[in-house]
Amino acid sequence: MKTPYKNIYNVLKINRLIVLAVVICALATSTFSVWMVFTTNKNAMNSAFAINTDGSIIPLKLVSQKENFMVEALAHLELFHNYFYNIDASNYEKNLEKALWLGNSSVDNLYRQKKADGVYNRLLQYSLVQKVLSIDSQITENNGSYGFTTTTIFEINRGSIIDTYELLSTGNLIMVYRNFPNNPHGLLITNYFENTLKKLNDESRKE
């Protein structure tokens, strides 16, 4: 007895369904794989890991590090401005050396310019005491880069005369490796510039 031939249209229809099912499964598998890679990468980007004393891995969330960035940045700026401007004949070399660790060549260039202008020689010659009274920094973020504006108020004691000044300075902050104790916050000041320096009278200080 001869086997009857199957309807060619039914065969093609079944084959088309099989191909369609394979394609759908492949797309679903690919989509799941891409999602898994994206999720894994996102978790890795938001996490760092440390090794505990018992050898276990401790996840550290970078989100919390970002939240602490402003605190670190403000502390870094306060440390720098204290080192750079809170100086006298006995400590200026040590303080300026510490300040240079916290900034790049823009800070070093400013230091060299002040040295060439005789700022530190006058400090020694007249036994001047330059004391920082307050430091107020504002930090802004733009597409992942951080800029700052700092208002530093300091006084210069010339013995019988004490003059008070307000300095407005600007710059940027970038993240670098921590280097304790030279750079404990892991930040570096770039594009540092002294914008304005004005003498304050007694009235402006009371305001």
Query: What's the Rg (C-alpha) of the chain?
Result: 32
> Residue 115: enclosing H or E segment and its boundaries?
helix 105-116
Instruction: Give the list of residues 6+ apart from residue 12 with CB closer than 8 angstroms, or none.
Output: none
What is the DSSP secondary structure assignment for residue 204, as one 8-state letter?
A: H
Cα separations (Å) of 5 from 9, 17, 129?
A: 11, 20, 108
Share of the chain above pLDDT 90, in %: 57
Is the pTM higher than 0.85? The answer reads no
Reported confidence tier of residue 60, pLDDT bands at 50, 70, 90: low
Which amino acid appears at position 115 of this protein? K
Reported confidence tier of residue 46, pLDDT bands at 50, 70, 90: low
pLDDT digits (tens, 9 = 90+) for 130-167: 999 999 999 998 888 999 999 999 999 988 899 999 99
Mean pLDDT rounded to a whole number for the chain: 84
Which domains, and CATH codes, for the chain?
60-200 (3.10.450.230)
pLDDT score of 32 more than 60: yes
